[in-house]
Structure formats: C-alpha cells, structure tokens
Amino acid sequence: MNRNRFQLFPSNLIDAGPTRQFIWLLILCLAGFSIASFLSVAVSSLIFGFSLPEIASFPSNPNQAGALTVLRLSQFLSACGLFLFPPVALCYLRNIPFSNGLHIKQKPLFALFILAMVLMWIQLPLINLLATFNNTLVFPEILKPLGEWMRIQEDQAAKLTEAFLLMPNPTDLFISLIIMALIPALGEEFLFRSTLQPLFAKWTNKPVLAIWITAFVFSFIHFQFFGFLPRFFIGAFLGYLFYWSGSVWYSIAAHFANNGLAVFVYYLKQHHVIDFTTDELGSGSNSQIQIAISFCLILFGLLLFKKRLQS
C-alpha cells in the first residue's frame, strides 16, 4: 500500500493518541454532516423541485405537502453522514480493519443478543419515570431564557417525531423502522460505543468513567434536553453492554429494540389495535410496583448477562 498518497491522513493516525483521533473524529463528523446536508438540499431541490425557502420551512411545519418525503431523506442522510461515516472513515485513517475498529468481529451469542433486547424493554417504566422527572424541571429566573429555548427545541423535535410516525400502511412502518430504529442503532452505536467510548477509556485510563462520559455526550448531542436523563441512562446501559462484551452487537440490538418497539407500538395504536404507547408504561395506579419490578429485573438481567459472558 502506498501511504505517501495520503500522507496527511492514514499514516499520521496509525499510532496517533486518543486526543488526535478525537479531533479527527470531530472533523469527520462535521464533514459528514455538511456533505449530508448539501446532498439533502440538492436532491430535494433538483429532483423533487422544492425551493430553498420551502425546504427550510419543512422542519417547523412538517405537515406541508411533500415535507415528509424531504424530512425522511434529510434524516436518513444526516444519520449516515453524522454517525455512520465518521467511525468508518476513522478506521480507514487509522489503517485498521473495520471489523476491529468498529468491534463487530466477535460473533454475538444468540441468547445474550435476545437478552440485551429484552432488558431494554424491561427498563421502560424506569426510563419513563426519569423522563417525567426531567420534563418537570423548573429553571431559576436567571436561566429562564435558556429553559424557554430548550422547550422550543423539544417541541419542534416532538413535532418532527409525530410527522415521522404517521404510518398509514405497512410500507410507512417499514420506512420508519429503517430511519428511526435501524440506522440510529447502527450509526450511533458505531460512533459512541465502538469509537468514542474506547477513546475516552484511553484518555482517562478509566473504562467505567468512559462509559458515563460517552453516555453524557450521547444524550447531549441529541439537543433534546427535557429528555436528557432517560437518554443518559440508556447510554450508560448500552455502554456497559459494550464494555462487558467487547462487541458492539449487543448495544446495537438493545438500541434497535428500544426505538423499534416505540415505532411498532405507535403504529398499532394508530390502527386502533392497542390504546397505549411505550411512553405510558410505568404510569397509572400501579406505577410504583411496575418501576420496582423493572429495577429488580434490570439488575438481575445485567448480572446474568455479565456472568454468562464470563463463563
């Protein structure tokens, strides 16, 4: 392989420390997101025929004609550019196989693969409790403008999510599962668990601290601050699955299970098969019992997961 051709890139990162790798990862994220944004606008304009002002108005008014198609395209490309592209490109720049750099080489145990998904579902009452607490936080007067800005961002994100979750037929369900469950599960786990968490572990020399730092970044980067605590908790859970196993497949499975179940249950509710969503689990008259059972089962399941890996 002729490394001189890419003197500024791969050869400089083969033995690079975590700081330089982290800086390059940020550069790759910025580049990937910029390219994805450009492609999204270009396709929406040149192929679908929308003007730039129309495209810019779609996020705040997703019920316009054609908005959902453009928003789905933008979401898909943004996820690929921001989450999938950077960790893959960093593997190339580090001159290591993708299977090693992304921690996908190790074949997951089927029983633990399923257990990771089930544990994600079991903790929903506890996650919803954290979400309720997070959503009721009141900012002091001095931080009131910040709180109002956060609430606006949260409301806009909720509006977009509702638009994505309009699923009149099974085709829409399939598209939503790809955009809202599969791509985020792969991309976000490759970026946060496969790439960032090991970098933070090398940086701090404390793998457990790296789990919580990564979980913080994972939650923060979504810019939905009234859902920060539950997402932070989920990020830590996914981080421990990765840390104990050394394989990203378990956290991908749990991540997909979380998003996929929410999409599928919402689809069933829209079509009047059921009358609840996953956000309602852990609420009601017996919520304390549900939360207590959820907490105990999570602890038991995590101990079982860890013990089975060590056997």
Whether 199 contacts 18, CB under 8 Å = yes
Query: How many Å apart are CA 252 and CA 190, to the nearest integer?
Result: 9
Whether 13 contacts 95, CB under 8 Å = yes
By CB atoms closer than 10 A (0-12, 13-18, 19+), residue 47 is exposed
Query: How many Å apart are CA 232 and CA 250, to the nearest integer?
Result: 18
CA angle 274, 279, 281 (to 5 degrees): 75
pLDDT score, position 2: 45
Tell me the per-residue pLDDT of 95-126, one tens digit each, with 9 for 90 and over: 889 999 999 998 899 999 999 999 999 999 99
Closest by CA to 253, choosing from 101, 120, 102, is: 120
Q: Three-class SS string for 139-166?
A: CCHHHHHHHHHHHHHHHHHHHHHHHHCC
pLDDT score, position 146: 75
pLDDT score, position 8: 45
Whether 187 contacts 91, CB under 8 Å = no
Residue 25 backbone dihedrals phi, psi, to 5 degrees = -65, -40
Query: How many Å apart are CA 268 and CA 271, to the nearest integer?
Result: 5
pLDDT score, position 62: 80
Closest by CA to 1, choosing from 92, 129, 85, is: 92
Place of tokens 């001189």: 4
pLDDT score, position 47: 87
Query: How many Å apart are CA 251 and CA 240, to the nearest integer?
Result: 9
Q: Round the average pLDDT of the chain to a whole number and report it.
A: 88
pLDDT score, position 285: 66
pLDDT score, position 5: 42
Query: How many Å apart are CA 200 and CA 185, to the nearest integer?
Result: 20
Whether 105 contacts 99, CB under 8 Å = yes
Residue 73 backbone dihedrals phi, psi, to 5 degrees = -60, -45
Count Cβ atoms below 10 Å from residue 152 Cβ, excluding itself: 10
Give the residue extent of every domain in the chain: 1-96, 105-311
Tell me the per-residue pLDDT of 197-215, one tens digit each, with 9 for 90 and over: 999 999 999 999 999 999 9
Give the chain's residues under pLDDT 70.
1-15, 283-285
